[in-house]
Amino acid sequence: MAYVDQDKKAKIAAALKPVMPKGWKYTLAVQNHSTIVLNIASAPVDIIAALVPSEFRNPATMTYAQIYHKRTDECFTCAEMTAIFAKISDALNLDNFDKSDSMTDYFHVGHYVDINVGKWNKPFAVK
């Protein structure tokens, strides 16, 4: 069963601090004792503009985005963002495991991970 407590959050925060670029404003939270949530509020670079466009996603009109932590290599158009988010994902998955088997509808992870760039009610800001 997925579980995150404040001690685990503190370990993840310590691992996340050295990999987050300078000038990025972010918060780390625990949601429902099962999910570690990284919210990036602002950065000196436009993270949303670096996203790969698709039929469902138009970076030119987006004000926030959710990034899937297991596929950071497919989300961005530039190698620099891909490398940054790979390190962020590794830090967020500290002491995590995935023994899930979707074929039998069995899900067993250490904790879930959410990465948000901005929020639906507070857009991402480039500063």
Domain boundaries, given as residue ranges, for the chain? 6-121
Give the pLDDT confidence of 60-107 residue by residue, as tens digits: 788 999 998 888 888 898 899 999 999 999 999 999 999 988 889 888
State mean pLDDT over 32-38.
Answer: 97
Residue with tokens 């004792």: 33
What's the pLDDT score for residue 56?
76
> Structure pTM?
0.90
What mean pLDDT is predicted for residues 8-34? 97
* Mean pLDDT computed over 10-30: 97
Strands 35-43 vs 125-126: parallel, antiparallel or unpaired? parallel
Cα separations (Å) of 95 from 10, 30, 62, 79, 92? Answer: 12, 15, 33, 26, 9
**What is the average pLDDT across 19-46?**
96
* pLDDT value of position 72: 84
Helices (H), the chain: 6-16, 79-92
pLDDT in tens, 40-70: 999 999 999 998 887 777 877 889 999 988 8
Whether 6 has a pLDDT exceeding 90, the answer reads yes
pLDDT of residue 32: 96
In this structure, the number of other CB atoms found within 10 A of the CB of residue 30 comes to 17
**What's the confidence (pLDDT) of residue 47?**
94
